[in-house]
């Protein structure tokens, strides 16, 4: 049987120790079979176990193998399209519900970390950095919007003030969100997996779901076993492939790349990000960065539509890092990797039900660390028969990609080129 390891990354190299997890070799029975052990699957499993369900998780590779174990580690509130866009396309009641939920994911992460004592270098504070007056204006309205939905830990930063928290000359200002922050993402996933097991859940690694037998009593097949369940949660996101063709048709995997420097001496690290906040800029194709627990700079950016792995990641990302921080020109890059997130046409998550008993959440389009934790809670509520919040997501329109699976990549790349050009020209 294939044994898929973690990709080489800083996170895999600094992962907390974990017990070996077997591949599924039998027929087992459970209440809920979760497909995928990223944040969506693990968060669903945890909320379900806390509510008395029996849960079996199938993971094709290893816990946190996908985006959840490779991401920038930034806890960013709200969705990849903000609440005002949602407000314009759905009624006020649905927008109100979605707006109220937009800040819950970060709270769930902090509760999980505290309750299950997860060691994942959690730090508070995230900065949105504006590269133009137009982007600053957008942050001002975003602050007003978020405050309307009860989110109050925000501070606008003028050009002088942002220099106190980010030693980069590119920004005209920004917004600090103290309920944002950062984590070691793989260690968060590993801690959540341990919590699942502490509550009696079972996780099988190297156990891809290869076929779902739908119907009143669904069965999930792996190469060597099967899981009979009352419910299935599909949480494979950008790594799901064509297991559920309806989901593949309306989303597109995209790659984004990350590099990590060697450890910086304390003085240099402190001079870059004196308060240890994480930062993302406001471009459509955005750069994001932060310090790790051992004072390396993790820097991410760039998108590859269609999720092909670029040949030389350092050559793509290092120039962006040096543009922000020329003072790092002699610093060595220790790690470089790529990971896939799932893009939807609306850039809003797709949540729903196939038949009576197959539930899914996918496609948070880039910002997913907080949303996926919320999604687990919302899916668990729906399985318990409380579907109001689930329905608020499920009623968002889902659009197929124009051009189908063949042409969606060039179409999306064309769209991104247009938005990238707008960023460059500052309009």
Ligand X SMILES: Cc1cc2nc3c(=O)[nH]c(=O)nc-3n(C[C@H](O)[C@H](O)[C@H](O)COP(=O)(O)OP(=O)(O)OC[C@H]3O[C@@H](n4cnc5c(N)ncnc54)[C@H](O)[C@@H]3O)c2cc1C
| Residues found near ligand X in the complex (CB under 6 A) | 35-41, 58-61, 65-68, 70-74, 76, 208-209, 235-240, 243, 256, 258, 288, 300, 339-341, 364, 366-369, 372
Burial, 27: exposed, middle or buried (Cβ in 10 Å; 0-12, 13-18, 19+)? exposed
Nearer to ligand X, 227 or 328 (CB): 227
DSSP 8-class letter at 238: G
Please check whether residue 32 is in contact with residue 231, taking contact to mean a CB–CB distance below 8 angstroms. yes
- Smallest separation (angstroms) from ligand X to the CB of 330: 26
**Nearest distance in Å: CB 238, ligand X:** 5
Name the 3-class secondary structure at 175: strand
C-beta of 367: minimal distance to ligand X in Å? 4
Rounded distance between C-alpha atoms, residue 278 and residue 216, angstroms: 47
Separation of first and last alpha carbons in the chain: 52
353 alpha carbon, distance to own chain's centre: 21
Nearer to ligand X, 239 or 299 (CB): 239
Cα dihedral sign for 161, 164, 165, 168?
A: positive
> Which residues, including other chains, have CB under 8 Å from residue 71's CB and lie 6 or more apart?
185, 258, 339, 341, 368, 369
* DSSP single-letter state for residue 184: -
Looking at the Cβ atoms of 6 and 401, the one nearer to ligand X is: 6
Neighbours of 254 (CB within 10 A): 23
> Which residues lie below 8 Å from residue 149, measured CB to CB, with a gap of 6+?
83, 99, 100, 102, 103
Residue with Cβ nearer ligand X (173 or 339):
339
Whichever of 357 and 365 has its CB closer to ligand X, that residue is: 365
Q: Which is nearer to ligand X, 68 or 283 (CB)?
A: 68
- Write down the least CB distance from residue 316 to ligand X, Å: 13
Q: 222-246: string of b/e by CB count within 10 Å (b at 16+)?
A: beebbbebbbbbbbbbbbbeebbee
- Closer to ligand X by Cβ: residue 37 or 326: 37
Tokens 């799932």 correspond to: 342
**Total H helices, total E strands in the chain:** 14, 17
CA dist 324 and 217 (Å) reads 55
d(CA 365, CA 251): 9
Question: What is the smallest separation between the CB atom of 377 and ligand X, expressed in angstroms?
Answer: 14
- Residue 79 CB, shortest distance to ligand X, in Å, is 10
Nearer to ligand X, 49 or 67 (CB): 67
Q: Which helix (H) or strand (E) holds 353?
A: strand 350-354
**In the complex, least distance from residue 51 CB atom to ligand X, rounded to whole angstroms:** 20
Task: Decide whether 168 or 342 has the Cβ nearer to ligand X.
Answer: 342
Cβ closest to ligand X, residue 169 vs residue 309? 309
Decide the pairing of beta strands 27-35 and 358-362.
Answer: unpaired
Nearest approach, Cβ of residue 368 and ligand X (Å): 2
Q: How far is the CB of 29 from ligand X (least distance, A)?
A: 18
In the complex, what is the shortest distance from the CB of residue 115 to ligand X, in angstroms, rounded to a whole number?
Answer: 20
CB of 30 to ligand X, least distance (A): 15
Residue nearest ligand X, Cβ-based: 368
Distance CA 240, CA 299 (A): 26
The answer to whether residues 232 and 275 touch, using CB atoms and an 8 Å cutoff, is: no
Number of other CB atoms surrounding residue 170 within 10 Å = 15
Residue with smaller CB distance to ligand X, 135 or 237: 237
């Amino acid at each position: 049987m294939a044994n898929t390891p973690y990709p080489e990354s800083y996170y895999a190299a600094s992962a907390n120790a974990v017990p070996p997890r077997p591949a599924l070799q039998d027929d087992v029975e459970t209440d809920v079979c979760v497909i995928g052990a990223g944040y969506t699957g693990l968060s669903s499993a945890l909320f379900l176990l806390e509510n008395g369900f029996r849960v079996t998780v199938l993971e094709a590779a290893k816990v946190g193998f996908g985006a959840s174990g490779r991401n920038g580690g930034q806890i960013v509130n709200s969705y990849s399209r903000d609440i005002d866009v949602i407000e314009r396309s759905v009624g006020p009641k649905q927008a109100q519900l979605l707006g109220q939920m937009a800040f819950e994911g970060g709270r769930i992460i902090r509760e999980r970390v505290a309750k299950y004592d997860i060691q994942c270098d959690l730090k508070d504070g995230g900065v949105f950095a504006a590269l133009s007056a137009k982007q600053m204006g957008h942050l001002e309205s975003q602050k007003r919007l978020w405050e309307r939905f009860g989110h109050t830990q925000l501070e606008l930063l003028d050009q002088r003030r942002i220099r106190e928290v980010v030693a980069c000359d590119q920004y005209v200002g920004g917004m600090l969100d103290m309920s944002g922050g950062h984590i070691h993402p793989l260690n968060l996933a590993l801690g959540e997996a341990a919590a699942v097991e502490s509550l009696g859940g079972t996780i099988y690694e190297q156990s891809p779901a290869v076929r779902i037998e739908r119907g009143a009593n669904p069965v999930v097949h792996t190469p060597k076993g099967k899981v009979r369940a009352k419910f299935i949660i599909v949480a494979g996101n950008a790594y799901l492939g064509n297991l559920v063709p309806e989901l593949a048709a309306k989303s597109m995997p995209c790659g984004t790349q990350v590099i990590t420097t060697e450890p910086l001496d304390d003085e240099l690290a402190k001079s870059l990000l004196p308060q240890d906040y994480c930062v993302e800029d406001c471009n459509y194709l955005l750069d994001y960065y932060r310090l790790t627990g051992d004072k390396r700079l993790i820097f991410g950016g760039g998108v590859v539509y269609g999720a092909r792995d670029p040949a030389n990641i350092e050559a793509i990302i290092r120039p962006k890092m040096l543009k922000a921080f020329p003072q790092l020109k002699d610093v060595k890059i220790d790690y470089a990797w790529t990971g896939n997130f799932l893009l939807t046409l609306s850039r809003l998550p797709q949540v729903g039900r196939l038949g009576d008993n197959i539930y899914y959440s996918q496609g948070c389009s880039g910002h997913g660390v907080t949303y996926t934790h919320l999604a687990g809670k919302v899916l668990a509520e729906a399985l318990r028969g409380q579907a109001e919040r689930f329905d608020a997501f499920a009623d968002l329109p889902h659009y197929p990609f124009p051009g189908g699976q063949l042409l969606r990549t060039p179409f999306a790349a064309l769209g991104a080129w247009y938005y990238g050009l707008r960023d460059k020209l500052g309009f």
